[in-house]
Structure 1
Amino acid sequence: MTSRRPRLAAASVAVTTLAVAALSTAAGPAAAAGEPTITADPMSTWQTNGVVWTLAHANGVVYVGGTFSKVRPPGAAPGTSEVARTNFAAFDATTGKLLDCAPAFTGGAGTVRALEVSPDGKRLYVGGSFSRAGTVSVSNAAAVNTADCTVATSWRPVVTATVRAIESSGSTVYLGGDFGAVQGQTRQRVAAVTGTGSLLPFRATLDAPVRAITASPAHGKVLVGGDFNVVNGASSRALAALDPTSGATKKTFPNWLPSASAVKGLANDGTYFYLAAEGTGSFDGRIAGVLSTGAMKWRDACLGATQAVLPHKGVLYSVSHAHNCGTTPGGFPEHSNRQHLLAQSVADKTILPWFPDTNDGIGEGIGPRAMTMTTGEILWVGGEFTSVNGKAQQGLTRFPASPDTGAPQVPILSGASTAAGKITLSWKASWDRDDGTLTYRLYRDGVFLKALSRSSRYWDRPTISYTDTVTPGSQHRYSLEVTDGENMSGRNGPVYVTALG
């Protein structure tokens, strides 16, 4: 979290005898420096009765788009206390309160796939498959005035098929998706219009859908990602950099993505750009590139259908159902669980100790699909999940920067005497969703004895042991508690051990 100590800074603790199994997770230098993450503790959040595909925020409001017909309060079971919201809803970004802003997006496939706020925050652009926005006739793209939640009748570009991505840059609005024409003119899957909806000369031809767009005016390029193989008549698998005015190809990225992988999400922080990949038995992870040159900074080796990426204060957050990350620094081996939310070091791709989780959920069983970070540092996550951290929660959740409220579980303590006056205590390390290093506090006869700090992850919990020196033949009671630095578990035990004489 942003206000807390570095995640992986290990405390130096002197012990009489300490045997700790080596932690198998690789740690890169950035992880050792300890980028702070937000918490892994979900806040009370409204829910949807369907899939959330996209999120955006502006002026203290979080906008939610997807395929759903109702929302319900935090904790409400499916079908109870529901409020009608047709593929679009708005919430107070801080309190999470449901707001009255609720134009229905209907017709077509009846789904909202893309949300993007204008640079001045006055307009919310909406894309998807729909023919009406509230009472206004539209064609797969619309705009909502954020001040009063009215649908803007002055911005209604006619787009012939689903809009899957929108990027607003200066006075230009870029559209990506499945379409072949905009405003009656040929535009193959990507186009640019003005703030009044007029078609711009920008033209590029792609052979398959565009699913993500991120613009970098300072570097004179617009990056597009999707399912395509050919851009402007030349090979360009799933990713290309285009001239922001003409649409001409400025750079391709050969060998970045195999033929079975598509780009589902793009983001940039002004220096680097980041992509989310989904493949079929192929590359499924994240890549970081340098905006100025287009050079690859790093690429991880996780599987698991990455849907979106979001950089924030040196950390790259992502949503997927990650698995088999064993060769990525800080990563985990293939096991029965899939990790749906990840945080990585922007500097070196190390997977940081931040492990909130969802289930796969409904629909395609992907889990989370979209993210947005508010100015108050609350990460909103949407998707098709139906549980968060093991508790029922559908479609939406959110995580704050602070406070950290989750205490690690206290491990089971055991003890034995193997030599005169020596008692050896041991336990299996606990783990915490947002702290990589935990401190274990031992008590003898109710009096504090020793604190030991060690690293652990949910897939790697080493055995820790400590040997206490006491009077030969004496009996003692021991107990153990564990803290993440802010939250303390309950104390376990006591365990009674008699020292050999």
Structure 2
Amino acid sequence: MIAAAVLGTASTALAAGPAQATGESTLTADPLSTWQTDGIVWSLAYAKGIVYVGGRFDHIRPPGAAPGTGEVARENFAAFDAKTGQPLSCAPAFSGGTETIRAMKPSPDGSLLYIGGSFGKAGPVGRSNTAALNTADCTIDGDFKPTVSSTVRALDVTDDAVYLGGQFDTVQGQTRERVAALRPDGTLLPFKATIRGSSISNDPTPGVNALTVVPQLNKVIIGGRFTSVNGSVLTVHALAGLDATTGKVVNNFTGWIPQRSAVKALVNDGTNFYVGAEGTGGGVFDGRIAGRLSDGSQIWKDTCLGATQAVLPYKGVLYSGSHAHNCSDTPGGFTDIGNRQHFLAQSISDKTILPWFPDTNDGIGEQIGPRALTMADGILWAGGEFTTVNDAPQQGLTRFAAGPDTGAPQVPLMSGSSTSRGRVTLNWKASWDRDNGSLTYRIYRDGAYLTSLAKESRYWNRPDMSYTDTVEPGSQHRYSLEVTDGTNVSGRNGPVYVTARN
């Protein structure tokens, strides 16, 4: 047999930068079987083996069930076993107000789940936009029952304090503008800040959308729609660090968030903090920022467009929910290709967009897609407005794990020709995979393995590929192609019959 030879393939470089700068591994993009809601999920929380789901919905239904099929009543709140994903009987109804849960956070020991939103009743008892659930027996805590004048949109908890953010102006009958702190028994703490103004023309009401507490630094970082904190006009916009005892501004983050953007998500991992933002109009910031907790310095800031609603760090990767549609200036990113990517994974070390591309649709409501993320025993739970996941019907909830990886890449069409003596050239366009950047293409001649080629690809960048085989002049051969992501192998295509020129 005459040996085969590779004459050349398309460049492996992607236009927007490296595929995976520091080798972080991601979860798979294959969703686990997950129950659904019939409305919007605004918040997720995990404590003691249970995932809690809050939002605005009336029912949950089984995985794969169509709307109206197999429904179980759940009024804006549901609980699921974190490992199996099965619904639990813990189901107090949250009603009154606009009937929505916007924020949830467990106490550090997991014994209490603090819940905020717009409601007047939690289970059988009256509550004013916030409540606490005893996780051991699913009862509404009798001690924590503060009166909050309007919607609570953000929560974080330490051993001795519960921090609230939102659109309220009084708590327990005392002035607290958009942010407050209470003891676990509901006693109002001295922590106080004046949050004023908004640069978002279509939402003039100032508010705190997100906050994260850093107990070791006695700091609370707040984000939202505001133009001043404690009268600090022009130096603070949408993001600020506050002393956790007094409410005094300790970090201005001047220039981090432009005038027509607001912060929607904040979280910290004990070393860094992470910001998600959305904007309206031109010149906005819609992406993510990584900052250093110790000194409030910025580590990186991406430039993606498509409002970010949730961020979550896990094992060196920052997962996010957004509707990103242009990340052309971010390493590993994509240009405005006419579609929205609703989940992203980025290297925490250098912001590179990693090859992890599960997706949803925009869904219902404001048609944003994902709204909330939480990690539970190594499984990423996502909730929001979506009604499909990876193009299959799935409403409100989905889950992703580290494995197994079950999705094989599609095998591309291959053509073959011979334009010179004893040489056959095969051509095809690279495939792509939702959670693997580099794919291997196996070529078979006359049913026997011939060779393999590896290539980097993404759904927006599928390079042309080719392989040239050297055979006996005038001989006819059949060729086929299969693709593997290293775990899963596609079905073999072809065969393609080619006769080598004499």
**Structure-2-length-normalised TM-score:** 0.95
1-structure distance, mates of 2:22, 2:488? 22
**What's the counterpart of residue 357 of structure 1?**
359
**What's the counterpart of residue 436 of structure 2?**
435
Q: How does 1:156-235 map to 2 (within 5 A)?
A: 156-207=145-196, 208-235=206-233
8 Å Cα contact 1:386-1:392 kept in structure 2: yes
**What's the counterpart of residue 63 of structure 1?**
52
Structure 1 position 170, deviation (Å): 2.2
Q: How does 1:79-228 map to 2 (within 5 A)?
A: 79-207=68-196, 208-228=206-226
2-structure distance, mates of 1:19, 1:101? 57
**What's the counterpart of residue 202 of structure 2?**
none
8 Å Cα contact 1:420-1:499 kept in structure 2: yes
8 Å Cα contact 2:22-2:347 kept in structure 1: no
Q: How does 1:84-483 map to 2 (within 5 A)?
A: 84-207=73-196, 208-235=206-233, 236-281=236-281, 282-375=284-377, 377-483=378-484
8 Å Cα contact 2:21-2:347 kept in structure 1: no
Amino acid at match of 1:482: V
1-structure distance, mates of 2:15, 2:142? 55
Range moving further from structure 2, 212-221 or 414-423 = 212-221
1-structure distance, mates of 2:455, 2:32? 28
- 1:15–1:60 distance in 2 versus 1, CA, 3 Å: farther
Structure 1 position 250, deviation (Å): 0.5
Structure 1 position 337, deviation (Å): 1.1
1-structure distance, mates of 2:171, 2:95? 20
8 Å Cα contact 1:270-1:291 kept in structure 2: yes
Q: RMSD value over aligned CA atoms?
A: 1.1
Structure 1 position 271, deviation (Å): 1.2
1-structure distance, mates of 2:272, 2:20? 19
2-structure distance, mates of 1:322, 1:15? 41
8 Å Cα contact 1:176-1:211 kept in structure 2: yes
8 Å Cα contact 1:136-1:153 kept in structure 2: no
**What's the counterpart of residue 487 of structure 2?**
486
8 Å Cα contact 2:12-2:455 kept in structure 1: no
8 Å Cα contact 1:426-1:464 kept in structure 2: yes
- SS in structure 1 of the partner of residue 195 of structure 2: coil
2-structure distance, mates of 1:25, 1:92? 43
State the percentage of identical aligned residues.
Answer: 65
8 Å Cα contact 1:410-1:489 kept in structure 2: yes
8 Å Cα contact 2:5-2:469 kept in structure 1: no
- Candidates 14, 24, 29, aligned match of 1:24: 14
- SS in structure 2 of the partner of residue 102 of structure 1: coil
8 Å Cα contact 2:16-2:334 kept in structure 1: no
- SS in structure 2 of the partner of residue 33 of structure 1: coil
**What's the counterpart of residue 495 of structure 1?**
496
8 Å Cα contact 1:21-1:464 kept in structure 2: no
Structure 2 residue 40 is the aligned partner of structure 1 residue 51: yes
Amino acid at match of 2:147: V
Structure 1 position 26, deviation (Å): 3.2
2-structure distance, mates of 1:23, 1:183? 59
- SS in structure 2 of the partner of residue 54 of structure 1: strand
2-structure distance, mates of 1:141, 1:340? 30
8 Å Cα contact 1:64-1:90 kept in structure 2: yes
1-structure distance, mates of 2:50, 2:15? 39
2-structure distance, mates of 1:116, 1:16? 57
Amino acid at match of 1:181: T
**Structure-1-length-normalised TM-score:** 0.96
8 Å Cα contact 2:363-2:385 kept in structure 1: yes
Amino acid at match of 1:320: S
Range moving further from structure 2, 488-497 or 219-228 = 219-228
Amino acid at match of 1:72: R
- SS in structure 1 of the partner of residue 216 of structure 2: helix
Structure 1 position 25, deviation (Å): 3.6
Structure 1 position 216, deviation (Å): 1.1
- SS in structure 2 of the partner of residue 218 of structure 1: helix
Amino acid at match of 1:243: D
**What's the counterpart of residue 200 of structure 2?**
none
8 Å Cα contact 1:23-1:462 kept in structure 2: no
Residues 220-270 of structure 1 deviation map (CA, whole Å, 9 limit, x = unaligned): 311000001110111310000000111111010111111110000001111
1-structure distance, mates of 2:217, 2:258? 26
8 Å Cα contact 1:23-1:460 kept in structure 2: no
Structure 1 position 418, deviation (Å): 1.3
Structure 1 position 97, deviation (Å): 0.3
- SS in structure 1 of the partner of residue 474 of structure 2: coil
2-structure distance, mates of 1:27, 1:197? 51
Amino acid at match of 1:242: L
8 Å Cα contact 2:21-2:352 kept in structure 1: no
Structure 1 position 22, deviation (Å): 4.8
**What's the counterpart of residue 199 of structure 2?**
none
1-structure distance, mates of 2:16, 2:462? 14
8 Å Cα contact 1:439-1:454 kept in structure 2: yes
**What's the counterpart of residue 201 of structure 2?**
none
Residues 427-481 of structure 1 deviation map (CA, whole Å, 9 limit, x = unaligned): 1000000000000000000010001111000000001101101011110000000
Amino acid at match of 2:25: P
1-structure distance, mates of 2:397, 2:376? 15
8 Å Cα contact 2:300-2:351 kept in structure 1: yes
Residues 189-243 of structure 1 deviation map (CA, whole Å, 9 limit, x = unaligned): 1000011111111111101200101111222311000001110111310000000
8 Å Cα contact 1:23-1:456 kept in structure 2: no
**What's the counterpart of residue 65 of structure 2?**
76
1-structure distance, mates of 2:150, 2:251? 27
2-structure distance, mates of 1:269, 1:158? 31
Amino acid at match of 1:419: S
The alignment covers a number of residue pairs equal to 486
Structure 1 position 15, deviation (Å): 5.4
2-structure distance, mates of 1:278, 1:287? 12
Structure 1 position 169, deviation (Å): 1.7
